[in-house]
Structure formats: structure tokens, C-alpha cells
Amino acid sequence: MMGSLMAELEAREAAARGRAEVLRARIAELTEQLAAEEELLSRLGITRQTVLEILDGDDHAWGALEGTDGRPGGVEVEQDGDAGVRAALRLDGPITRAALAAAPVAARVGGGAVTVPVWQAGVAEAVLPVAYRDVLEVLADAAKPLRARQIAAALGLGDQRRSVEGLRLKLKRLVQRGWLAEPAVGLFARRDQMTGSS
């Protein structure tokens, strides 16, 4: 009787452990999706503010930037009488065009998704979204592996758990795609700092 009771207990523990693992995986997936949506919301808010500043003529006294075609800094504004003003922001510069042309198709962004391409020799960091390039810059300045909390502080994100965990997801994504290395659990470094080459 004691043996069958212990066997039943072990079976229940195994089942509960399995369900807990499934839930942890789902939570991690949802956390990553939430971080991506929050990043998209942030970018859209910044874009909206930028468009409103452009439409209001608010150039913050830094002057108009000239694009490659002589128009103001890659911003096209088209008026249709009383129908309103449509503004389309686009990247327009020789460095950006060259980096995107050299990037693998998987690195290009489409449909509003933030894409982190797999690292390949010869692919410039310019193909990464700005938030990811900032992480690489912090690690380059540090010249040693850092923890997510240290990187968050250097980026000015604060030390709130939500901010640090969102950043940790980005760091793990960069490790997964080959841009960073994780020499020890929770320590992140640029891949060139670990291999000695870029």
C-alpha cells in the first residue's frame, strides 16, 4: 500500500512539474511578445510626435537636414488642399541604403515587426534596430561581460524589474542570433570580445 501511494505521489509531482514547465515556457513567450509590442508602441508614439513636430514646423533650432535628393532630411510632405497633410518618414542616406542592401533578406523589416537578423560575417550592426545597437555599444564601451541590470543602468532604463527583464529578452535574442555571447549564465558580451575578431 505504501509503495502504490508513493508511486501515485511521484506521478502527481511529475504531472504538476510538466504543467509548470509548460506554463513557464508560455509566460516567457508572452513576456517576449509583450516586450515587442511595448517597443512598437514606443516607436509609434515617437513617430507620431515627430510627424506632429514636422507638421507644426518645430525644428528645435537644429535646422533642416538635407537628404540625398536635396529635400529636407528624408521627409516627404505632400498636401492635398483641405484633405490634410500626409507625411511619410523614410530612411534616406547612403550609409543606411548600403547597410540594408548588404543585409540578408531575413534582416529586412516588414509588416511592422522588429527583426534581429542572424549574425553573419560582413553584416554591419546598422541592420539592427536602434535599441539593439545601443546594447552593443554599451558592451563595446565596457570591454567586459556585463549583467542585464548593469546594461539597463548604462542605457538609462532604470532598475525596475520590468525594464531589466525586457532588456534581458533582447540580450537573449542577440545571443540566440549570434551577435552576443553569454560566457556565464546572466553575463553578456559582444561576440568579438569573446572570439577576438569581429
Q: Which pLDDT tens digit goes with each residue over 15-45?
A: 999 999 999 988 988 888 888 888 888 888 7
- Give the whole-angstrom CA distance, residue 54 versus residue 60: 10
Q: Find the mean pLDDT for residues 91-114.
A: 48
Residue 161 has pLDDT above 80, yes or no: yes
State the pLDDT confidence band at 174, using cuts at 50, 70 and 90.
very high
Is pTM beyond 0.95? Reply is: no
Matching CATH number, 94-198, of 3.40.50.150, 1.20.58.1000, 3.30.70.270, 1.10.10.10:
1.10.10.10
Confidence at residue 70, expressed as pLDDT on a 0 to 100 scale: 52
Q: Find the mean pLDDT for residues 88-113.
A: 46
